[in-house]
Amino acid sequence: MLCVNVLFFIFLIRFSKGELEDICHENNEIESSDLSILISPLMSSEMIREISIYWKNSHLKNGDVFKLYKGDPNTTEAQVIYTFKPDAIHGYKKTGMSSDFISTSQLSFRDECLKYYVSWVRNDTIKKTSCLSTHPNWMAKRKKTLGHLKMREVFIPGTHDSAAYNKFQNFRTELIIDKYTITQDEDVLAQLIYGARYLDIRVGRYPNSDEIFWGNHGPIRIVPLRDVIRDVKLFLDNTNEIVIFDIQEFPVGFKSLAAHYQLTDYLLEQFDGYYLDRPVNVWGTSLEDIWSTGKRLIISYDYSNIVASRSSVWPQVEQQWGNVRTVNALYRHLNKIETQAADESYHFNRLSQPRAAMAQLTPTTMDVIFNRLGGLRKMAENVDINITEWYSDEWQHTANIVAVDFIKATGIVETAIKWNDKRASGC
C-alpha cells in the first residue's frame, strides 16, 4: 500500500489535475476524434484495395463533410477524390475508390504518409487530417516512456500467420486454396514498417527440397523462411525497434526432436548478431534492458523441450484462440480473455509471459471445402473494423499483443500507439 501511495504522489507531481483531464479524457474536440483510412482486403473483378474511411467524432455538426484526397490537402497538388456528409457521429464508409499498389520497395524506414489523406472539413476549413501511414519507429520513439515496461505490459500490434502473404498488384481470381491460406497483403518487411512488432510464424520442413524451411499456413507452404528472415534483418538494420519472432505450430516435417534442433540451429545461424539470448528474468525483462543489450530480436518457440535445451530461444507467446466462426462469438471470446487479464493484473506473474489475442475467425474444414464463409478476406472484412473499435473503447487497458489478418484493414497499429501513450501518462 505504501508503494502505491508513493507512486501516486509522484504521479501528482508530474501531472496537474487539468493536464490529466486533457490527456486522459481528451476534452479537445480534435484530439478526441478518431479519423482513419483503412484498406479493404476484399478483391473482386471490379475492385481491389478499396479505400474505406472510419470515424468517431461526437463533435460533428450539420454540414460537416469528410474529404478523401490523393495528396496532402495542405498542398496545391492535392486532388479531392471522394466527399461525403456523415449521417452519424460514428461510422465506416466504403468509398468505391481503389488505392494504388504500393510496393515494399517504395516504403522507407521513417514515418510517412502514403498518397491518401482524409480530412474533417467544416465551412471549407480543415479541422483534422489523417493519412494512410507507416510506423517503422513507433516503439523506439517511446523508449523513455515505455522502456521500464515488460512485453506483457505493452499494447503490441501483430500479424497472424505473418508468412502467409501475397502482394497483389492487380486483381486475379483467387483459387479456393488461396482464399483460405493467404492472411496478409504485405510481405513481412512491410508488415513491420506498417507497425507490427509481433510475428506469428508457422514453419514447414521439407528436407528433400532446395529450400528446407518454409513459412506455412497449415500444410500449405507459402514463402521460403529465408525470405522472412531477410526481411526481419533488414528491418532491424534500419530501425531501433524490438521484434518478437514467435515460432508457433510445426505443420509439416517435425516428427522428431532432431528436426526441431535443425530448425533452431538454422535460425540461430541466420540471425547471428541479432537475437537476444534468454535472460534470467525471461519475459520479466524490461524493454530498456533489452535495448541496452543491442540485440532486439526475440525468438520464441512453441516447444518446451527446445526452450529447455537452447538458451537462445525464449518460451512461446501464449496464443489465445477462440476458434469461432462469427463476429459475436469472437467478441465473447475476446471479452472473456481481456476480462481475465484485468483480474490477473492484480497478481504477480513471475515470467510475465506475453499473450496474443488471436483476433480472427477460424473456418472449419467443411467451411473451406464448401467455401461457406467466402474466404479469409471476407472473414477479415467482417471482423477487422470491430477489432479496432473493441480495443480502442473496451479493452484498451488490458490489451497486450493483438494479432490480426490483413493489418492495413484495421487501425490496430494506431490504436496501440494511442493507448501506449495514454498508459505512459497514467490513463
Confidence at residue 26, expressed as pLDDT on a 0 to 100 scale = 57
| pLDDT, tens digit (0-9, with 9 covering 90-100), for 195-212 | 999 999 999 999 999 999
Burial (CB count <10 Å: 0-12, 13-18, 19+), residue 177: exposed
- Please state the rounded mean pLDDT for residues 255-263: 97
Cα→Cα distances 64→56, 59, 85, 120, 298, Å:
13, 10, 6, 7, 47
**pLDDT tens per residue across span 325-375:** 999 999 999 999 999 998 876 555 555 899 999 999 999 999 898 889 899
pLDDT in tens, 136-161: 999 999 999 999 999 999 999 999 99
Residue 209 has a CB neighbour count (10 Å cut-off) of 13
* Residue 299, number of CB atoms within 10 A of its CB: 23
pLDDT for 68 equals 98
**CA–CA distances in Å: residue 265 to residues 213, 244, 260, 270, 272:** 12, 18, 8, 9, 10
pTM: 0.92
Task: Report how far residue 105's alpha carbon sits from residue 136's, in angstroms, rounded to the nearest whole number.
Answer: 14
What percent of the chain is modeled with pLDDT above 90?
81
Using H for helix, E for strand and C for coil, what is the string for 409-420?
A: HCCHHHHHHHHH
The confidence score (pLDDT) of residue 207 equals 96
CA 412 to chain centre: 6
For residue 8, the model assigns a pLDDT of 34
Closest CA to 416 of 14, 146, 18: 146
Residue 88 in this model has a pLDDT that exceeds 80: yes
24 contacts: CB under 8 Å, gap ≥ 6: 422, 425, 426, 427
Task: Determine the residue type at 203.
Answer: V
How much is the pLDDT for 369?
A: 87
Amino acid (1-letter code) at residue 277: D
Q: Is 5's pLDDT higher than 50?
A: no
pLDDT of residue 424: 84
Asked whether residue 169 carries a pLDDT value surpassing 80, the answer given is no
Model confidence at 175, pLDDT cuts 50, 70, 90, reads confident
Distance from C-alpha of 301 to C-alpha of 282, rounded to nearest angstrom: 13
Q: What is the mean pLDDT of residues 55-78?
A: 94
pLDDT average, residue stretch 214-220: 96
179-185 mean pLDDT: 95
Q: What is the pLDDT of residues 16-65, one digit of tens each?
A: 444 444 556 656 777 788 999 999 999 888 889 999 999 999 999 999 99
CA distance 11 to 401: 26
Please state, for a pLDDT cut of 70, what percent of the chain lies above it: 92
Length of the chain as a residue count: 427
Whether residue 9 is predicted with pLDDT greater than 50 in this model: the reply is: no
For residue 310, pLDDT beyond 60: yes
Mean pLDDT of the chain: 91
Rounded to 10 deg, the angle between the 257-270 and 225-238 helix axes is 40
- Overall average pLDDT of the 276-287 stretch: 95
